[in-house]
Amino acid sequence: MSSETSSSVLPPGIRTFKPRRGRVTQRQEAGMLDGRDYFIEQPTGPLNLNSALPGYDDIVMDIGFGTGEATAQMALDEPRMAILAVDVHTPGIGDLLHRCAHTPLPNVRVMSADALEVLTSLPEDSLAGVRTYFPDPWPKARHHKRRLVQQPVLDLMASRVRAAGFWHLATDWAEYADAMQVEFDAHPMWAGGVITRPDWRPKTRYERNGLSQGREPIDLMYTRVSP
């Protein structure tokens, strides 16, 4: 499952992720060392994407990449597209950095940060798209305020994703998929809905575990439209 965001975009104290550090394996520790050239420190000011990922016209942000297997595969499949991969889960960051270093994946950069803070630091219209696969559904009603897909986040995302750009999401929580559609439908700068699962989206370990338990994934694709 993804680890995502908390930020001043949302009310004080509201986080859309549970901080999970976990045990770091030797492989993950080695990945953090071997893949250090792929790692970006969170800046105190604006993030210069042209400096971080020079030579790419299209940059996609992956929010909450888990172990990084889907991010790595899509980076291989689309070498002309750069990926800014953001998560807060230390073992997963080690996994993805290991993949970056040993594949290698020159079109990927990794950040350990709150994704909303990263988005806030980016220039307007700087992203070709965003991908968020299996974010925390926060199923209890009292926790719905922690869900990633809500109006303040849609506002921020619409300002950072350029016109005709996309936000691709996947969830295996049907109620959350319905709630996502309600939020997107209420926003004037996003258009789209549920789509057939694309063949090019790699299956993640979380998704495979869900399928083995009878949870079917639901993909949603939204396009950023002009105001």
Residues noted as catalytic? 136
Beta strand pairing status for 58-63 and 218-224? unpaired
Q: What is the DSSP letter of 105?
A: -
DSSP 172-184: S-HHHHHHHHHHH
Identify which of 122, 121, 108, 40 has the alpha carbon closest to the alpha carbon of residue 78. Answer: 108
Beta strand pairing status for 58-63 and 81-87? parallel
Beta strand pairing status for 190-195 and 218-224? antiparallel
Identify which of 178, 106, 95, 117 has the alpha carbon closest to the alpha carbon of residue 144. Answer: 178
Are the CB atoms for 167 and 133 separated by under 8 Å? no
Classify residue 70 by burial, with Cβ atoms within 10 Å: 0-12, 13-18, 19+: buried
Q: What 3-state class would DSSP assign to 130?
A: strand
Which residues, listed in sequence order, are joined to residue 221 by a DSSP beta bridge? Answer: 168, 193
Work out the angle at residue 136's Cα, subtended by the Cα atoms of residues 227 and 213, and round it to the nearest 5 degrees: 125
